[in-house]
Amino acid sequence: VVLVFILSIASLIIYFIDASSEEVERCQTWSNNITQQIDLAFNIFFMVYFFIRFIAASDKLWFMLEMYSFVDYFTIPPSFVSIYLDRTWIGLRFLRALRLMTVPDILQYLNILKTSSSIRLAQLVSIFISVWLTAAGIIHL
């Protein structure tokens, strides 16, 4: 879980780098774009993690309708299509910001947050930041 969070944040940082230096869509060969190559490696990991979660899910329908599944639906396929089309499209990669909502869970897992008030505060802050960054990504499109 911690590794998924770290890679999601790294993918979000790559999105910020691409969004600040490029247009929403740009023609560029895949071999010349290092950020696209790194993002593809992350998305291969996310795809494997998605299938592991799917296999482990007791209720497959509920799993398919989870928010993090939708994040994967909208962020993983475009990276593979970008290779095929030789285009860089930052598109919906901003949805990785929704993974920030797992910060309180990770902090609880690491025994950093112990009281219910600190857990609740971390949840509120992480939801606010996630929604804020996601809304900024929508506006950027």
Mean pLDDT of all residues in 119-136: 94
CA distance 42 to 47: 9
Interval 79-99: pLDDT, tens: 888 888 877 777 788 898 999
The amino acid present at 8, given as its one-letter code, is: S
Q: Which two tokens mark 101? A: 């909502």
- Give the pLDDT confidence score for residue 65 in this predicted structure: 96
- Give the pLDDT confidence score for residue 35 in this predicted structure: 86
Q: How far is CA 40 from the centre of its chain?
A: 12
- Give the pLDDT confidence score for residue 101 in this predicted structure: 92
Beta strands in 76-132 (DSSP E): 87-89
- Give the strand pairing for 25-27 and 87-89: antiparallel
Q: How far is CA 141 from the centre of its chain?
A: 17
- Per-residue CA distances from 42 to 5, 100, 128, 129 (Å): 11, 16, 25, 22
**24 pLDDT tier (thresholds 50, 70, 90):** low
Task: Evaluate if pTM is beyond 0.75.
Answer: yes
Q: In this prediction, what percent of the chain has a pLDDT beyond 90?
A: 52
